[in-house]
A = this chain, B = another copy of it.
Amino acid sequence: MAGTQVSDEVAIDDIDQSLINLLREDGRMAFTDMAKQLSIPESTVRYRVQRLLQADVIQIHARLNPKKFAMPHIVTMRFNVERSHIDAVAEALAQLSEVQFVAIVTGHYNIIMDACFGTHEDLLRLFETIHAIPGIIHYDSCTALKLLKSEYQYTVG
């Protein structure tokens, strides 16, 4: 799992970009709609979109609006890790299912992580799991009290 960074990059041309932008607004837009808007045949749209999906350049799925729920608990943690363990720790964290975001970063802390879960028991379990990962020198965590925005929609172009 996880690992190789900006490895398998893909060439995205203007058409792909337009398709992506349309699908970013409405993931269920009909192929024929997109075709009309871009003045290209529907079969081409279908071919391109399928290719983008297959190559895992995009995924199309429903996202829950966390504001419409008893908000799940969201926690951010920052880790200071022994240099030689950075990758291993980051990968270990990334494999935990409650973990939503992991990155290796500049600065005093080496790794940042966001996680979200339903109950405090889950959080406790998360801490226990983290304590079992070797190489972590120090970490701190803080809990979200109010979520203002949570999009995580990377743009292209």
Contacts and interface: CB of A to CB of B under 8 A. Distances in A.
A148 B20 CA distance: 23
A124 interface: no
Nearest to A157: B118
A62 B58 contact: yes
Contacts of A99: 149
Contact of A69 (B70, B100, B156): B156
Interface residues of A, number: 69
Contact of A23 (B23, B58, B61, B144): B61
Interface in A130-157: 140, 142-156
Given A28-B27, A153-B63, A103 B146 contact: yes
Contacts of A9: 68-70
Tell me how many chains of this kind the complex includes.
2
Contacts of A67: 5-8
A57 B68 contact: yes
A71 interface: yes
A154 B107 contact: no
15 contacts: A2-B149, A5-B67, A5-B71, A10-B69, A12-B69, A24-B62, A24-B63, A59-B63, A64-B155, A66-B154, A76-B112, A100-B150, A103-B148, A106-B142, A152-B152
Interface of A: 2, 5-10, 12, 20, 23-28, 55-72, 74, 76, 90-91, 93-94, 99-107, 109, 112, 114, 116, 118, 140, 142-156
